[in-house]
Structure 1
């Protein structure tokens, strides 16, 4: 069996999170062949893989959004779209009624157009943009509206025209662009298509857009609605949606995924990687606080630093070690370093990417400060190393810390609201003051992970998912 993994903004260019999950999935299923279709942000990352491809990975096909957006305009053509084509694209731009992906497959089928810009730069499509503008956005500058539409739709139009690798199953690890083109490939090739959502992609993009500088204020809502629209198109075509926990499944259903498609498969962790790490000891030295996290805005390192500043008032010899990549967003890394200086903090270390299993034995308390997560592997790894966690109330963190209605293990740490650095500091200090509390919570986290979140359980679930997909066959319409 050959599986095409579709990834956006993650594997193989970014370490951690979804990327680690993809590497673990391929490595754990050596009986299958994998090929990765990767959508990256910038072409400067071409070939700069952060992972060694497993032997059963046949390769990575790379596409970069900045290259798509820098394409030169083709000569405008007239009368190239049928009336049905125009109506489909009008509904797509308008974003109020979902279009069947099979119709987009017909419009953008491989080889139909001589240039990937042909449709966008046609007079027919320009008329559609003008129509939507007059109906809904005529209070905004038309030039800004046009360039916003170009930035949103040109990558989609380009990607829909590409010939994806042949596979027996198409598996997207998000909705967004890779979800739509995964559905497109499955529709064209009449092969099964499944999605795994770690976080809720459209909600993560919403949080990013609200905070962004690149999206003009008047157009933030346009961008947000667009990514929710792409999610619905992805859900529409998928045979199954696998998500990490029940709450995410409910959100996906609320956003348009048919409930009968949704299955829950938690993350799994290699607990044996941490078997050499002994339980916590009452060492009597400074409390060392650890965070295994990429230094990027969505992980909200600034809240962690502000919390640590409060912790230092009570525990002046406390130390903070931030273990994670520094390459992804250098501007944000610089802001974090400025914040350290502004707060007058000492004992803060940014290690960059390191072997986490070698660092965890030195930690007393682990912290996750993210504003968005799915089911973070970092928390499961910390539990596997007998460390308690303070997390924000995002994704599956509450369930990991406190368990669900069927879990009797107990409490493995504490959960606070996102961006509430005062509450975060309070919980860190509470754990720091009691070795017995830390030890008891760490034991709960270890037991919960062993019972529910092992690597073997995760791999068995996806082996069954692929076999089921092939058995049930393709979803999504007629062959193009």
Structure 2
């Protein structure tokens, strides 16, 4: 089977989003062929290079999202008229839906009528067909025609109150953002030498990747699988700078991304997510529950096997926090909670191990160090020596914390204190290690823990302290919870289960989607695969009617079959 894998800002670029997941997926499905279609997000990502690719990857085609470029295409009068009609229709829908959450209590993309969804899709595919027919669309998307069409849509009677307030700078900014968001319409990936040659298109994210998958489905009928480990529309909301972006621009862009999400969910054969939180976003944007599948992110448990099989290595008095230093991790609440723990259990210690520093992490780390010094002044007497603070700040890779596995091994209880969290990969690693955990109830924490750890409200130091004390004082309970957590993690969150789940979905989708490729000399009946499985069997697999075929001699060529349909097998 040939898979067209479409990514945005991820694989095969070094350090890209979901790059590790895609890498494991491609390497784990060596029986399939993969073609990669990647959008890059900025020049720095392209300059960083790409990761080494396995042999099952055929072609790699890339396109930038960070620059519109100049395709050098000049449209004639008829093409300009088509562009004005399609772009005008698209912006009219966006202006109607823009600000929906403010004007009508709705999310852009949710509960839109069938007519609005059809109008959005028709305008989108109309622009894509124009780009294919004319050889490009970049110039038109940056033209005065586009800005004027957007202005008319925002001033029309049906426009939402938010977008009617757009001024000229807002219109120019919105047109520029829409031009970049429509970049997938201008790439040449949708012919028979591109995604049209695939048996299935797998969009590894929403947004641009899903839009490219929609166009491949529209032009060549390739079935589409959409995977979101974080809802793209939610990411758009969180990353849009409200202080620098006018409300009208935010409303129009939210309506566009909501429209793309709704169209992708409507047209995809299956839509996957990594947790219930993302699934709720998908449902809110119109995804059919019958199409939704939960596939947890696959993580490699190998590095944690030895620790998981040796729970007795933990220090019974040590709490461990490990992760990226960022205000969202709420280390301040953790320090206040540990102050209460240390008051009742003076032998208790807290290791804070950094795996990296976020954008605001350096200043936040300094604040946390100062707070720890204030909460735990040096003691002249007691269980610790003078100058021995019960809280330590460390970095992964140092002699004190050489590996993540060794950090988890040192703790009796692993603590997560975040106020914002997506899929808690650190908790899964702790579960692989067979450690009991105390976590705040954010993101997918409860879904991941599943009753194998203690969960408390976020920003509640007292509850966090009580949970930590309960486990520190009950070693038998820690062992039971750790063993249950390890069993759950090995069952649900390994690379193997992730790869197997996608393999099954690939077969399910393709089995329901007959092949669209013409077979030389064949009939017009569709086939389930472009290259039948029998073609890969060694030796002679057919003979004359009524008699078995003789096995070929060594070095000889097996006799060609004589079926009604002749198959030309590459290689």
Contact 2:136 2:186 in 1 (8 A): no
CA deviation map 1:200-219 (0-9, x unaligned): 2222332333x765534665
Q: Which moved more, 1:180-189 or 1:451-460?
A: 451-460
Q: Counterpart of 1:202 in 2: which secondary structure?
A: helix
Q: Which moved more, 1:2-11 or 1:463-472?
A: 2-11
Match of 1:182? 213
- What's the TM-score, normalizing by structure 1? 0.81
Deviation at 1:262, TM superposition (A): 1.6
For structure 2, which runs of at least 5 residues remain unmatched after alignment? 98-115, 374-390, 516-571
Q: Counterpart of 1:81 in 2: which secondary structure?
A: helix
Deviation at 1:108, TM superposition (A): 2.4
Match of 2:448? 400
- Report which structure shows greater RCO (CA 8 Å, sep ≥6): 1
Q: Counterpart of 1:287 in 2: which secondary structure?
A: strand
1:271 to 291, 301, 323: 301
Deviation at 1:241, TM superposition (A): 0.7
2:512 to 447, 450, 472: 472
- Structure 1 segment 86-235 matched on structure 2, within 5 A: 86-94=87-95, 96=97, 97-98=116-117, 99=119, 101=121, 103-109=123-129, 110-113=131-134, 116-134=137-155, 135-136=159-160, 137=162, 140-164=165-189, 165-166=194-195, 167-209=198-240, 213-216=243-246, 219-235=249-265
Q: Counterpart of 2:18 in 1: which secondary structure?
A: helix
CA deviation map 1:269-315 (0-9, x unaligned): 443442211343375575141324x5567xx23x1344234314533
Match of 2:481? 441
CA distance in 1, matches of 2:230, 2:483: 27
Deviation at 1:115, TM superposition (A): 5.2
1:382 to 411, 430, 441: 430
Match of 2:414? 366
Match of 2:111? none
Cα gap change, 1:220 to 1:105, in 2 (>3 Å): closer
Q: Counterpart of 1:66 in 2: which secondary structure?
A: coil
CA RMSD of aligned residues (A): 3.7
Q: Which moved more, 1:358-367 or 1:251-260?
A: 358-367
Contact 2:320 2:408 in 1 (8 A): no
CA deviation map 1:241-287 (0-9, x unaligned): 12234564354223211222222333344434422113433755751
1:291 to 322, 333, 342: 322
Deviation at 1:380, TM superposition (A): 2.5
CA distance in 2, matches of 1:447, 1:49: 38
Q: Counterpart of 2:320 in 1: which secondary structure?
A: strand
Cα gap change, 1:114 to 1:394, in 2 (>3 Å): same
Cα gap change, 1:25 to 1:323, in 2 (>3 Å): farther
Aligned residues: 458
- What's the TM-score, normalizing by structure 2? 0.69
Q: Counterpart of 2:396 in 1: which secondary structure?
A: strand
CA distance in 2, matches of 1:159, 1:112: 15
Match of 2:271? 241
CA distance in 2, matches of 1:412, 1:6: 36
Match of 1:85? 86
Contact 2:315 2:411 in 1 (8 A): no
Deviation at 1:163, TM superposition (A): 2.0
1:260 to 280, 290, 311: 290
For structure 1, which runs of at least 5 residues remain unmatched after alignment? 403-410, 476-480
2:394 to 349, 359, 363: 349
